[in-house]
Amino acid sequence: MSQSTSVRHSSIATVNPYTNQVEREFEPLSLDALDASVDAAHEAFRTWRRVSVEERAALVGRAAGLLRERSEELAQTVTREMGKLIAHSRSEMDLSARILEYYAAEGPAQLADEPLEMDSGSAAVLNTPLGVLLGVEPWNFPVYQVVRFAAPNLVLGNTILIKHASTTPQSALAMEALFADAGAGPGVFTNLFIAPRDVGRVIENPLVRGASLTGSDRAGASVGEIAGRNIKKSVLELGGSDPFIVLDGANLERTVHAAMIGRMHNMGQSCVSAKRMIVVPEAYDRFVSSLAEQLSELEPGDPADEATTLAPLSSERAAEQLMEQVRDALEKGATAVVGGSRIDRPGAFLAPTLLTGVNPGMRAYREELFGPVAVVYRVENDDEAVALANSSDYGLGGAVFSADEGRARAVAEQLETGMVWINHPTSSEPNLPFGGIRRSGYGRELSEIGIKEFANRKLIAVTPGDARITDALG
């Protein structure tokens, strides 16, 4: 590896999207310092893996307690860095603490040896750690995403390197301090201020045993390629264009409320946002008018003000990229029932938008819309709903709404996604696996499945010393 010690500048900075003002900047690590961080994480692993699983879980439990103590401070930091409504930031802190609490309580049992039957002797699968892992995390949930990756792997005995988004550096430092204050020694959990171009260098380091990325499918393809070329495990949670299917007009007020939550939580900047509303004729007109009315009532303002209902997007660049997708749809014949433009005020604001008449020739049909833009489609029956839902290249989550749960379940089973929620927008809970298929990635986080993604599922078989040796090698 290169031994260069020069400092190279990058855009690692807090830029408040409400004001578009730079509030704080950070220097990236030199390559020597980066390599030293990997070395330190490997040295820490040699000790950390020998700490009992109960003690490792206790550290994660202490981190949960500290997160609850620091919840308001962290929520304010997240809101300042990426523009999230303060209520949504507080919700993120609660979910993150619950994930830590879940793995602190359940992790040791989930990692217990798994006995297997043998004709003679005994066998078991052991869940042992791999070593140093790299997590490449996004800006949209800068606490939850880190916790989702770190909590299970710390209990498992891996050590963690985090390359956070360059736009949320203060959140990244807060998470490093959280685990250090919970008792993680040097190298157990390390924040890396590095440019995206240096991610490959970390993955290629022989001391790094796996990588996880949450982000765009383009970034995921890059990380997956590098990991595969170096024969290392990777988990990718990428973009989504989740369908929100409405099969009837029953309880439509609740369904529209769910659509608002599913589309507008975090201002629609979530991989599992309800991005494509697919509605049958009996509910279509009422659904469109009601959703449009509720979107038009949102009021822009300071996201740290509890009275604000419309926050800015995470950055000026994000707002303009989304606006380009909307313009493309409108120029090609789509209709903006509400919105369809930027808001004339400082900050990275875009008017909540509801599009109809979107067709396959438009970017909005095939691309992920990461922000407050909903697309509503009319379909004639359940089969058309399934076909439209599955026409996307993505396959992360989905939601199906119907008074007939059996009918909803039948549709849900046909959706080509990693998750489907019935009569509830796609969500996340510590004990439920989270992840997708197709261009939404592979692997799972959370639940018992998540804690074993970066485990060595090692078989140990014991045969009595006087047993006959068989010639049955595979």
Task: Tell me if residue 43 is catalytic.
Answer: no
- pLDDT digits over 58-83, tens only? 999 999 999 999 999 999 999 999 99
Contact (Cβ atoms closer than 8 angstroms) between residue 130 and residue 454: yes
What is d(CA 64, CA 200) in angstroms, rounded to the nearest whole number? 31
Mean pLDDT for 326-333 is 98
- With b meaning 16 or more CB within 10 Å and e meaning fewer, what string describes 379-391? beebeebbebbee
Nearest to 167 by CA among 305, 24, 296: 24
Query: 323 versus 465: which is more confidently predicted?
Result: 323
Could you read off the pLDDT of 200-246 as tens digits, one per residue?
Answer: 999 999 999 999 999 999 999 999 999 999 999 999 999 999 999 99
Query: How do residues 107-116 score in pLDDT, each as one tens digit?
Result: 999 999 999 9
Tell me which residue has tokens 């996340």: 428
Residue 245 — left, alpha, or beta (φ > 0 → left; ψ -120 to 50 → alpha)?
Answer: beta
> What is the pLDDT confidence band of residue 3, given thresholds at 50, 70 and 90?
very low
User: Catalytic annotation on 237?
Assistant: yes
pLDDT value of residue 7? 36
As a whole number, mean pLDDT of residues 71-98 equals 98
Res 148 pLDDT > 70: yes
The CATH T-level fold of domain 13-238+440-460 is: Aldehyde Dehydrogenase; Chain A, domain 1 (3.40.605)
| Other beta carbons less than 10 A from residue 439's beta carbon | 21
Catalytic: which of 81, 137, 237, 368? Answer: 237
Q: Decide: helix, strand or coil at residue 400.
A: strand
Quick one: CA torsion of 356, 358, 363, 369, rounded to 10 degrees?
40
- 12: number of Cβ within 10 Å: 21
User: CA dist 43 to 154, 232, 459, Å?
Assistant: 15, 19, 26
Task: Indicate if 242-422 has the same CATH topology as 13-238+440-460.
Answer: no
Catalytic hit among 137, 271, 368, 453: 271
Q: Give the pairing type, strands 159-163 and 189-191.
A: parallel
Average pLDDT, the chain: 96
pLDDT of residue 11: 82
The CATH fold of domain 242-422: Aldehyde Dehydrogenase; Chain A, domain 2 (3.40.309)
Q: Give me the mean pLDDT over the 247-257 stretch.
A: 98
* Token pair for 115: 């006995």
* Extents of the domains making up the chain: 13-238+440-460, 242-422
What are residue 134's DSSP bridge partners?
161, 211
